[in-house]
Structures are given as structure tokens and as C-alpha cells.
């Protein structure tokens, strides 16, 4: 008889799910940990090989290190030699060039005749004004003669009236004496009294009428005199304008920009030439607007010519800023050095303060892009650069005073940031 043995499924499954021994579990965990470490190492190596930041060629950058040093508060600027004084010569009248008596670049003295213009219109107007002035003078003479004749006639009339008054007064007094003695009738006495009153009234009337007539005549004479004065002024102005056709040098100096030709038409107000002072110069320089609050009239400067130092001082400041710069004029405290030429470029040093110890950084193009508020600072590995906020102080002689944000020895990209100003970090490529 055959016997079949039945194996329980539950018993078989329990045997399959039996836990592994402890040594096997520890080995599995170690292998898992090693796998995780290896994966992390591989990920780090892969990340390290990836570019960090915007790639930039190192050769295109200007890199400088922050270093401790002495900050010289001196501004070195390229200045241009200009004449100390210049007088612009503009045409005062319209005309045609008749004579040119000097040449461009000539040394002229004050009052020297430079050129002569001609103007037919001026000549005709001068003749008309002269004729008018002569006519008005003749009229004034006529008015004065009539005024003097009226005065003479009134004097004669008043003298005659005064004589008649005196005679009537004497007659009346005599009649009064005779009337007291009974030799003159009362009617005759009344008649002499009336004649005396009439003579007095006539004299008073002559005086009153004479004052009014003479006042009217005098007013006419004064009005004519004012008219003559006005005409004389206009005539004098016209003559001066005519004299202005013969142009003379207002000051002494060197004549520049003078190019008039015979027969050329010149219009009033047009620029003709310039007269520059000779042997006396000034320096004109353009400074960055950053220095505007620190520059003042009287500020001292030095111009080094060879082994000699010429002392300067700021004489004028034009505070108008154009293209980020403003103009400054400097004058020599003593005689300028020999050999200076107008238009020559030369370096001038302006002393803004005393030297002081400070952390220094090269002043370059990055300040124009960031305003000095931040910069790209290179990491210790030398392959990357990241933005960092800075606090800068003064700037002078190509140096920046660093007040915060950098440590001595740290390297900074100081060239222009225009190509990568929007990046937060850079990768430096050799």
C-alpha cells in the first residue's frame, strides 16, 4: 500500500520567511553605506567639473590686490596750457573789408589799427544826419535871436512905460499942491489921478504880458536845444559807428583766429579774431564730478617741469558737469616756466589732503559701473569671483581708500564690468 505524505503550505512558507543570520545583515548595510558615499563622491566630482558662474577670460581682466599703504590725497590731472587772458574781437558794424593791416599770429599793441571796413549805407546816413544837425542848429539860432529880440523890445517898452508912470506921478503931485492953494480945480486933480492910475496899470500889464511871452519863447528855445542835443548824440553815435569801421586792438597781445580777406563782407556780431596775452598762461583741466565737492578756489597745486616745481592755485571753477566732468582753471603763483606753448598738455598735481595710512586698491574702470558700492572679489582658489559689497572712501592718484569689505591681500577685478555687470559670480578661464 502506497502512503503519500502531505506537506503543509503554511509550514513551507514559514520556512522560506525565516530571517537571515545577523552577519549577513551587517554586510548588507555596509555595502549600502559604501554605495551612498560613492554616489555622493561621484556627484561632487561631477559638480566640481561643471562651470560655476559666467565664464570670463582672465586675460581680459585687470586684477589688483588690496594692500596696506600710505594714501596720498593728491589728484594728478592732465591740463592744457591756455593764455591767461583772452579778448574776443567781434565785428561791431556791417561792412566790406577794405584794408587788412596785420596777419594771423602777429603781436599787436592796444590801439593798433587791425583792419578797415567800408559801408555806403553808413556814409549816406552820416551825410543825412549831418545835414539834419546843421538845419536844427540854424533853427536854434533863429529861435534864440527871436528870444533875444523880444527881450530887448520888452525892455524898451517897460522903460517907456516906467518913464510915463514917473511923469504922471510928478504931474499929479504938482496938481495936488496947486489944488491945496486953490490954483487947480478938483476936476483937473481927478484927471491927473486917473492918468497916474492908467500909467501904473499899463506898466503892470506890460510886465505880465512880457513874462508870459518870454516864458513861451524860452520854452521853445529849450525844446529846440534838446532836439539839437539828441541829433548831436545820434550823429556822434553814427560817427562812432563809422569810426568802428576802422577796427583797432582793444588790448595788447597775440592775434589768433584772424583770417579776413580783402573784399570780404563782415556782419555785425560775427567773430573776427581773438587776442591772447603773451608770456602769461593758465592751466585748464577737466576733473571727474566726484571731486567737485573737494575742489575750491585757492586750492594749492604743483606743476613739475624738469627738476623745478612750479606752484599753482585754483583760480576758477566751472561747476557745470558735462559728460561726468567739470572744468577747473589754475594760475601760476610766480612766473610760468619758459617754453610753454598754448595748447600744450601737461600733468598738474593738486593736493587735497595729507598722506594717511589706509587699505588701498587700484582705481580703475569698475567704479564707473558700480559706483564703488560692490566689486567682484576672487576666491582663494583663484578660479572664481563673486560679488561683494564694498565701502570706499577717497580716491586720488589712481588709488582708492578701502573702508570696508576687503582684507589685505584679497584680489579684486578692477577693470570695467560692462560685459558681465549682471552676473552674480564669475568663472575665470585661462
Q: DSSP characters for 260-322? A: --TT-EE-TT-EEEEEEPSS-EEEEEEEEGGGGGG--TT-EEEEEETTEEEEEEEEEEEEEEE
Q: Percentage of residues in the chain with pLDDT exceeding 70?
A: 83
- Enumerate residues 6+ apart whose C-beta is below 8 A from 2: none
Can you tell me whether residue 383 is helix, strand or coil?
Answer: coil
C-alpha to C-alpha distance for 74 and 70, rounded to whole angstroms = 12
Q: Between 3.90.79.10, 2.40.30.170, 1.20.58.1880, 3.40.190.10, what CATH number should domain 76-83+279-351 receive?
A: 2.40.30.170
Residues 164/170/173/178 CA torsion (nearest 10 deg): -110
- Confidence class for position 52, pLDDT limits 50, 70, 90: low
C-alpha to C-alpha distance for 223 and 140, rounded to whole angstroms = 9
For 54-72+356-429, give the CATH class.
Answer: mainly beta
- Model-level pTM? 0.47
Question: Residue ranges of the domains in the chain?
Answer: 54-72+356-429, 76-83+279-351, 94-119+245-275, 121-234
Query: Span 94-119+245-275: which CATH code?
Result: 2.40.50.100
Within 10 angstroms of residue 131's Cβ, the number of other Cβ atoms is 10
Lowest mean pLDDT among 89-103, 300-314, 354-368, 414-428: 300-314
How many Cα atoms within 13 Å fall on the side-chain side of residue 309? 6
Q: What is the pLDDT of residues 239-289, one digit of tens each?
A: 666 565 778 888 888 888 888 888 888 888 888 888 888 888 899 999 888
Amino acid at each position: 500500500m502506497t502512503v503519500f505524505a502531505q506537506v503543509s503550505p503554511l509550514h513551507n512558507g514559514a520556512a522560506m520567511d525565516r530571517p537571515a543570520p545577523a552577519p549577513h545583515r551587517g554586510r548588507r548595510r555596509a555595502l549600502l553605506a559604501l554605495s551612498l558615499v560613492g554616489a555622493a563622491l561621484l556627484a561632487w566630482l561631477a559638480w566640481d567639473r561643471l562651470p560655476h558662474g559666467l565664464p570670463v577670460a582672465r586675460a581680459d581682466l585687470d586684477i589688483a590686490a588690496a594692500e596696506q599703504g600710505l594714501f596720498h590725497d593728491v589728484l594728478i590731472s592732465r591740463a592744457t596750457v591756455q593764455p591767461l587772458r583772452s579778448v574776443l574781437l567781434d565785428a561791431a558794424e556791417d561792412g566790406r573789408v577794405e584794408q587788412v593791416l596785420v596777419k594771423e599770429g602777429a603781436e599787436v599793441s592796444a590801439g593798433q589799427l587791425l583792419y578797415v571796413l567800408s559801408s555806403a549805407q553808413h556814409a549816406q546816413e552820416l551825410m543825412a544826419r549831418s545835414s539834419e544837425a546843421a538845419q536844427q542848429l540854424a533853427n536854434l539860432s533863429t529861435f534864440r535871436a527871436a528870444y533875444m529880440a523880444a527881450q530887448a523890445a520888452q525892455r524898451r517898452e517897460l522903460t517907456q512905460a516906467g518913464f510915463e508912470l514917473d511923469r504922471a506921478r510928478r504931474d499929479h503931485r504938482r496938481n495936488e499942491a496947486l489944488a491945496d492953494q486953490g490954483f487947480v480945480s478938483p476936476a483937473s486933480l481927478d484927471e491927473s489921478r486917473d492918468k497916474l492910475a492908467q500909467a501904473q496899470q499899463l506898466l503892470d500889464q506890460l510886465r505880465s504880458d512880457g513874462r508870459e511871452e518870454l516864458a513861451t519863447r524860452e520854452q521853445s528855445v529849450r525844446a529846440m536845444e534838446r532836439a539839437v542835443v539828441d541829433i548831436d548824440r545820434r550823429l556822434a553815435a553814427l560817427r562812432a559807428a563809422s569810426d568802428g569801421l576802422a577796427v583797432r586792438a582793444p588790448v595788447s597781445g597775440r592775434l589768433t583766429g584772424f583770417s579776413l580777406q580783402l573784399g570780404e563782407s563782415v556782419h555785425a556780431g560775427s567773430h573776427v579774431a581773438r587776442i591772447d596775452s603773451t608770456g602769461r598762461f593758465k592751466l585748464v583741466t577737466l576733473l571727474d564730478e566726484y571731486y567737485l565737492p573737494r575742489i575750491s578756489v585757492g586750492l594749492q597745486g604743483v606743476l613739475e617741469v624738469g627738476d623745478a616745481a612750479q606752484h599753482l592755485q585754483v583760480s576758477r571753477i566751472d561747476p557745470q558737469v558735462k559728460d561726468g566732468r567739470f572744468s577747473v582753471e589754475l594760475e601760476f603763483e610766480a612766473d610760468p616756466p619758459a617754453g610753454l606753448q598754448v595748447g600744450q598738455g601737461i600733468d598738474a598735481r593738486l593736493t587735497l589732503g595729507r598722506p594717511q595710512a589706509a587699505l588701498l586698491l587700484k582705481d580703475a574702470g569698475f567704479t564707473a559701473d558700480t559706483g564703488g558700492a560692490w566689486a567682484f572679489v576672487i576666491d582663494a582658489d583663484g578660479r572664481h569671483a563673486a560679488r561683494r559689497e564694498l565701502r570706499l572712501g577717497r580716491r586720488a592718484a589712481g588709488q582708492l581708500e578701502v573702508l570696508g569689505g576687503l582684507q589685505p591681500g584679497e584680489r579684486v577685478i578692477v577693470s570695467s564690468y560692462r560685459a558681465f555687470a549682471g552676473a552674480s559670480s564669475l568663472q575665470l578661464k585661462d
